[in-house]
Amino acid sequence: MKRIVWSVASLALCVALSSHAAGQSNQPASAQKTLSATLNVYVFPQQGQNASQQSKDESECYSWAVKNTGSDPFQLQKQAQAQAQAQAQNANTTSGSAVRGAAGGAAAGALIGGIAGDAGKGAAIGAASGAVINRRRARKAQESNEAAISSGQQATAEQMANFKKAFSACLEAKKYMVKF
């Protein structure tokens, strides 16, 4: 369940950040999302700062937060996309493993069965055992991959949370009310 939640959260972050990157050049200046809006951070100027000043402050705080946390949300987006691709590839890993194992087992079983006098029976036994063995190996590999992906997604979420805290602290020091 946690994997699904992290996957959805990572995907939402990817979509939000990619739409920001793609939409930045296509939208007129007045319709562009602010940096904070792209990061799902809500910023309100408490001392009447205009949009230009807020944009400048957000940019400075973004750079400061990257420097102090070592995390750049746009790089985290790329990591999340790579993790999503790895997860998709991982899901496809086990789909044909039983068939491949059955084919290999059947060949070995037919060879052994031919020596013993019944190649057909040997092939059938070899196919069944090959399918089971290969399916188990694939399942273990998939579980290991899923654990690594889940760990990576959790680390990405923690890095993003730390970045948002630093970004918010900087903006609050510049007299903005910040919520995320």
Q: The domain containing residue 84 runs over which residues?
A: 2-26+33-179
* Full pLDDT tens readout for the chain, 180 residues: 445 444 444 444 444 445 544 444 444 444 578 899 999 999 999 999 999 999 999 999 999 999 999 999 999 888 888 877 877 776 665 555 555 555 555 455 554 555 555 656 655 666 666 666 777 777 787 787 778 778 878 888 899 999 999 999 999 999 999 998
Do 149 and 3 meet the contact criterion of CB atoms below 8 Å apart? yes
Domain count, the chain: 1
Residues 6+ apart with CB under 8 A from 77: 13, 14, 17, 18
CA distance 17 to 32: 13
What's the pTM value of the predicted model, to 2 decimals?
0.58
